[in-house]
Chain A
């Protein structure tokens, strides 16, 4: 059944047309969908492949033609309804749209009681907008990156003077007074407050807390450089700790950061000691120090969550309950490598979350594996090109090099899917290690397309006599709109092992890779 939609003199942007095409092609029962301008040659081609009908014949070069070929009339109607919906949603500047302010001043006129500004503009303008917001008495969250460190310091000093939060730059998630900001998950409220210099890490710990029955009072992001760069000196981390100290709802604190500068870490720990509240600290990539006083150190993000939940319930922390014991992991690993070829030796970690990538990387390195990564800058550990894997490789696909001018992989999974296909084509690849991040701002059905890609990758490897192991974790909760249970089912149906946390997924991957590297020796 064929249907045509024609839009006269349509000027849509290309990225929108591409997304519309993808949405139509994924609509149920659609065999083929073409979204193109009605130029002479395009119409000739549509005619040639039997897709041109009815009013499509009258299209002119500036008209948009949407041609759908579906299995049934019903499916074609549904596809057309989807197309109409997309076009309606995206129609530009006809004046009938709801007023959307384009500047901070305009936004404040519409919503004068606002007390926080989220800034997401090209990095070189972000500082200017943040300064404006701070000077108007607003807390600030800068989603943008590419803000100079000197400007970050200046903005954070201005915020400190005014007693305001200045989260970021490159701050992708926060939960303030129960309100999720940017990429955040639906979590229950409770007595645990977090400050984190790590976006996906903050999401992972919040989700683990929720899964373990705990709840979140506040989750404050600081931006990734806050503890790493000596010039920033943990300004927002220290302020966040102070805010949680004063917050009556917060009884337990969690501090999380990518590897911090030594002296900044010392300042943070000293400030935590002064809060008088029990605290859990996790500095990624650093071995936990011995716990003492009110501070406990965790070995991984899931453990940080478990410690905080135990403290919030007045219980002693023992050990995280794992769905797979070490023995069971070894058994699963044995089965996973059974049909691998002798060439298949390498882990290929493709992550949407930077901190999740670092956690997996740290675990492999602790176990003596040399893993190349784009999160590493040291010669010999940094990938020569982030686009090409070498040996064991873990890639943060949310890195600037992948996201310049295109959506983050948490929003648009296609970039990672293409990379998965390339990794599967490499005879050395034994295992794909993946993360999936759910929640506000993330893709509405990430495991749908991901599951299909996993299945194709496995089929491709099986076709040349091997077996591809695929292991993933899902950072999300039952409250996330994507439905975590359904998402998990989709991955499992594709033959993916889904573990309850990023740490456990990495641990399972470690078992498989160890086995893959020793079975032929």
Chain B
């Protein structure tokens, strides 16, 4: 696999197989900022990244899954290329992605995803994560041992000092800062609990969604994109899949496998998000 490329011919129309629910709502000129083997990222003027992906497992509500884009050569989609987001379509000078009538990927947790989630499952998830998670990000928050990771130490101080989750936004290594993944995981846990209880989600330690919204401007585009979706109750496919797998797991082994899959996402992103999902502070919300 190499650089993704476009279908041949000017004016070519490609039809995605899945469209993230947030994409048709974005309009204006975007620009390609990065191009990897299975994904191209476009930056929207709001600072949100819209991803064109090859694999449906990499969907988010701001992604478009269009495998045909990655199959053929002739032209490549380079950083710097301009893309017009027009609601029902995305257009470059060489091709158009026609989003109309395509299946919409919501990125929401459903009752079906969480019906088997229990405190004991969360505990098993935590144990599995401690032993299999990727070091380098926020895994140290769960291990509760001395660490020479300055980011973890800082995160501990933020949490111990009673500061709200906003204090973690933009903190940490990685192209998506670990703190952003962690916060997304916390929000996902709240969403999962709310869905299970048929109520509105509550953000722990911070009653104000507005605080997190404001904090989004202090992180980079990748982090902002993740948090923007999480604040709208939408999460990446791999995280939803992880939660569903844990919910449906019949034992430790299946949970181990779910964690194994999730922590392979990014460098530490999968680990950091799950750390957020299982993390709790005594007396603040329940210990898994």
Residues of B within 8 A of A (CB): 1-5, 33-36, 41, 55, 70-73, 76-79, 128, 131-132, 135-136, 150-151, 154, 167-177, 179, 218-223, 252-253, 256-257, 260-261, 264-269
Given A36-B173, A385-B256, does the pair A14, B34 have CB atoms closer than 8 Å?
Answer: no
Are B265 and A94 within 8 A (Cβ)? no
Q: List 7 A-B contacts (CB under 8 A).
A: A11-B34, A14-B266, A40-B170, A41-B154, A42-B177, A93-B78, A100-B2
Contact B73 A34 (CB under 8 A): no
Interface of A, secondary structure class, is loop
Q: Which residues of A contact B33 (CB under 8 A)?
A: 9, 11
Is there a chain B Cβ closer than 8 Å to A327's Cβ?
Answer: no
**Which residues of the partner chain A approach B131 to less than 8 Å between Cβ atoms?**
387-388, 422
A39 at interface by CB-CB < 8 Å: yes
B175 pairs with A12, CB closer than 8 A: yes
Alpha-carbon separation in the docked complex, A48 to B157 (Å): 13
Which chain B residue lies CB-closest to A422? B131
Q: How far is the CB of A423 from chain B (nearest CB, A)?
A: 12
Let me know if A34 and B150 touch, CB within 8 A.
yes
Say yes or no: A18-B265 contact (C-beta < 8 A), given A40-B218, A41-B167, A45-B151: no
Kindly identify, within residues 197 to 232 of chain A, every residue whose CB is under 8 Å from any CB belonging to chain B: none
B72-A11 in contact (CB<8A): no
Contacts A39-B171, A41-B170 known; A93 to B221 CB distance under 8 Å?
no
> Cβ of B174 and Cβ of A404 under 8 Å apart?
no
Q: Does A105 contact B (CB under 8 A)?
A: yes
Number of A-B contacts defined by CB within 8 Å:
145
Q: Mark A1-34, 1 if CB is under 8 A from B, else 0.
A: 0000000010111110110010000000000001
Q: Is A288 an interface residue (CB 8 A)?
A: no
Q: Which of B72, B218, B260 contacts A39 (CB 8 A)?
A: B218
Q: Which residues of A contact B257 (CB under 8 A)?
A: 401
> What per-residue 1/0 map shows which CB atoms of A44-59 lie under 8 Å from chain B?
0100110000000000
Known: A14-B269, A36-B177, A93-B34. A62 touches B167 (CB 8 A): no
- A11-B41, A121-B1 are known contacts. Are A36 and B172 too (CB-CB below 8 A)? yes
Give Cα distance in the complex from A13 to B223, angstroms.
13
Q: Give the docked Cα–Cα distance between A212 and B222 (Å).
A: 55
Evaluate whether A14 and B1 lie within 8 angstroms (CB atoms) in the complex, with A34-B150, A45-B171 already known. no
Additional A-B contact list (16), CB under 8 Å, known A41-B218, A422-B131 = A11-B34, A11-B221, A12-B175, A13-B34, A14-B267, A35-B173, A36-B174, A37-B223, A39-B218, A39-B219, A40-B170, A42-B171, A100-B3, A384-B253, A401-B260, A405-B261
